[in-house]
Amino acid sequence: MFSITSGDQRDLFVQAIDTPDAVVRVAGNVDLNLTGLESLPLAPGVQILGDRSLRRQGPRLFTTSFPHILFRVGNDGDGTHSDNVRISGIRLQGAESDDPFSAVGTDDSDGIRVDSSLNVEIDHSEIDHWRRSAVNVQDGQNRIGLPNAGTVWVHDNYIHHNQHPTGTVCCGHGAGYGVATSHGVYALVERNVFDVNRHAITGDGSAGDGYLAYRNLILGAGGDNSRVWRTHEIDMHGRNSSCSYECGSADEYMDVEYNTVWYTNGTGVKLRGTPSIGMTVSHNVFQYSHLWVGSILPLHAALDQTETGLHQSANILGSYTGGQRKYCDFEGDGVEDAFIATGVTWWYQSSALGGRWAYLNQSTARVADVTLGDVNGDGLCDVGHPGGVFEYSSGRRSTHRLNRTQGARPDARSSDASSDMPPERCSTWSDRSPAPPCHRGCPRQRTDGDVSGPCRCHLRDPVGLPVSCRPEGSRPRALPAVRGARHPLFSGLP
Ligand SMILES: [Ca+2]
Ligand SMILES: [Ca+2]
């Protein structure tokens, strides 16, 4: 166990994260300058945990240089991997400016690179201003595939301002991704908020590439490919360079469900070749009213594909509900938070997180359908809806609760662990109908190494610290109350 309590403990931090199985707690008020450092290895079993008990946004770890990679989890070049790593509750800031065109012609920079490592979790963090990727996942050692597609789990993060245009007009090197997959890897990407990325989620089309993207919220800004063209947000490349990666094999399987795409600078989802299994795009909400890009017009729409393999169904088009809001305090800091309902998911704008949007629940109920108030008397807002009450604070769900079985897809009628309250980490993948991680009801022990076996869990408490077993419903101590105030920020939404 290492405790980083001030910004002058950089050397101790670097030593700690390279110590196998180290738990590295970083105090919430720490501002840790990692400028000049590069490819910092995270040893197997390392957990970097931002302490969010006093400062919910967590500590800031930043660089003003442009490391090719800052945090390195495994190394395909060396043939090493680093399983069972967790990064939670931090703010990881690169040095890219808010002007994306300052990145043109420069070298790439990744915040977190994961190579061929199992049971990796990156959650409840803010990752921003990286010229290549916030999170870049690869599998040169062939340890990750569809049967364990959830083994790298990126969830409940705010990932923004990661852009790298190709040039003023075109044609240079482009990057700028939220989560990038390549070299035959899968990632499970869910309940994140993306904004101002060139692509929120991308894949390079390598044999065995894929991702599972569930319940994310993609906001309106970004997509800067050049000064004359905005690109799409959810991407999978073809592998054929002769057509600028717009054709050829686009492996392997992508499942895109229950996401909200309020991005309209460019197209929402684009498949740039033919995947060997396919790309499922279902039950998402798009602000665009046109489903497909046309041969001439429209230039942009919800979906585009250059060949075949994209299978869409039950998507909601032409829907933007970000301006329809109700207010209530979901986190007990005494400041009311805006509540929005996209048609597939609910979110609140957390005052304690400085105005970040945080995931609440998967539901088709709209703002007009819900009543906000503290039903169970714990001081935290609950959501009454036509089917009952969603008790945010305790994690209990009085209605719309299904037993999620292994292999089940996300279901609009089911409820989830809330975004800002991650009690456990578990994942299970049994077949080619990938499921999101199972949630409550998992065995409460960690059984690492078996990626095909039953659900794996390790409990976490709501502030990101591991606990043996924290009673359901217990919460970090509330900050001093300022009842009735509304948070002034409405960042991210047009
Ligand atoms: Ca609040
Ligand atoms: Ca309550």
Ligand nearest to the CA of 391: 2
* Residue 70 CA to its chain's centroid (Å): 19
Give the confidence band of 393 by pLDDT, cuts at 50, 70, 90: low
Neighbours of ion ligand 2 (CB under 5 A): 374, 376, 378, 380, 382, 393
Fold classified for 2-313: Pectate Lyase C-like (2.160.20)
Cβ neighbours for 297, distance < 8 A, ≥ 6 positions apart: none
Cα of 337 from ligand 2 centre, angstroms: 14
What percent of the chain shows pLDDT beyond 90? 77
- DSSP character at residue 107: P
Least confident of 37-46, 345-354, 385-394, 457-466: 457-466
Q: Give the percent of the chain with pLDDT over 70.
A: 79
Summarize the confidence of residues 12-18 as an average pLDDT.
98
The ligand that comes nearest to the alpha carbon of residue 482 is 1
Residue 289's Cβ-count burial label (10 Å; 0-12, 13-18, 19+) is: exposed
- The per-residue pLDDT for range 31-76, each reduced to its tens digit, is 999 999 999 999 999 999 999 887 888 999 999 999 999 999 999 9
pLDDT of residue 52: 84
Q: What is the pLDDT of residues 160-200, one digit of tens each?
A: 999 999 999 999 999 999 999 999 999 999 999 999 999 99
- Longest CA–CA span in the chain (Å) reads 63
Nearest CA-CA partner of 211 in 223, 196, 227, 200: 200
Report the length, in residues, of the chain. Answer: 494
pLDDT value at residue 54? 78
Q: Is the pLDDT of residue 481 over 60?
A: no
Quickly state the pLDDT bin for 424 (edges 50, 70, 90).
very low
What is the SS3 assignment for 17?
A: helix
The residue assigned the tokens 């939220």 is 178
107-121, 138-152, 264-278, 456-470: least confident range = 456-470
- The pLDDT, as a whole number, for residue 420 is 42
Q: Which ligand is nearest to the CA of 489?
A: 1
Q: What is the pLDDT of residue 78?
A: 97
Question: What single DSSP character describes residue 220?
Answer: S
Identify which of 275-284, 423-432, 466-475 has the greatest average pLDDT. Answer: 275-284
Q: Find the ligand nearest to 328 CA.
A: 1
The Å distance, Cα 53 to ligand 1 centre, comes to: 14
Q: Which two tokens stand for residue 185?
A: 């890897």
pLDDT of 362 above 80: yes
CA distance 243 to 203: 16
What average pLDDT does range 223-245 have in this prediction?
96
Q: Which ligand is nearest to the CA of 372?
A: 2
Cis peptide preceding 252, ω within 30 of 0? yes
Pick the ligand that lies closest to the CA of residue 390: 2
Q: Is the dihedral of CA 296, 196, 219, 277 positive or negative?
A: positive
Confidence category of residue 477, pLDDT binned at 50, 70, 90: very low
pLDDT at 439: 28
pLDDT at 222 over 60: yes
Six-digit token pair at 165? 């245009």
**Which residue, among 397, 415, 418, 404, has the nearest Cα to 462 in the 3D structure?**
418
Tokens read off for 135: 């999170």
Distance CA 331, CA 309 (A): 43
Ligand 2 center from residue 440 Cα (angstroms): 19
Residue 426, CB-side half-sphere exposure with 13 Å CA sphere: 25
Cα(229) to centroid of ligand 1, in Å? 38
pLDDT of residue 392: 78
Read off the pLDDT band of 488 (50, 70, 90).
very low
Distance CA 138, CA 144 (A): 9
The CA distance from 294 to 62, in Å, is: 43
For residue 325, pLDDT over 60 is answered with: yes
How deeply is 77 buried, as exposed, middle or buried, from its count of CB atoms within 10 A (0-12, 13-18, 19+)? exposed
> Reduced to 3 states, what is the DSSP secondary structure of residue 389?
strand
pLDDT on residue 417: 33
Instruction: In whole angstroms, give the CA distance from residue 476 to residue 466.
Output: 13
At 50 the pLDDT is 96
CA-based nearest residue to 479, from 28, 49, 16, 56 = 56
Q: Which ligand is nearest to the CA of 473?
A: 2
- Kindly report the number of other CB atoms within 10 A of residue 472's CB atom: 12
Which run of H or of E encompasses 310?
A: strand 310-313
Q: How far is the CA of 413 from the centre of ligand 2 (A)?
A: 21
Burial of 123 (0-12, 13-18, 19+ CB in 10 A): buried
**Which DSSP state fits 15?**
H
**Ligand 2 center from residue 370 Cα (angstroms):** 15
Asked whether the beta carbons of 458 and 424 are under 8 A apart, the reply is yes
- pLDDT at 56 (0 to 100): 84
Please give the distance, rounded to the nearest whole angstrom, from the Cα atom of residue 57 to the centre of ligand 2: 22
Q: In angstroms, rounded to a whole number, what is the distance separating the alpha carbons of residues 114 and 353?
A: 26
Give the DSSP H or E segment for 128.
Answer: strand 126-128
The helix, strand and coil proportions of the chain, stated in percent and rounded to the nearest 5, come to 5, 35, 60
Residue 137 C-alpha to ligand 1 middle, in angstroms?
34
Query: What backbone torsions phi and psi does residue 177 show, to the nearest 5 degrees?
Result: -130, 150
pLDDT at residue 40, as a whole number: 98
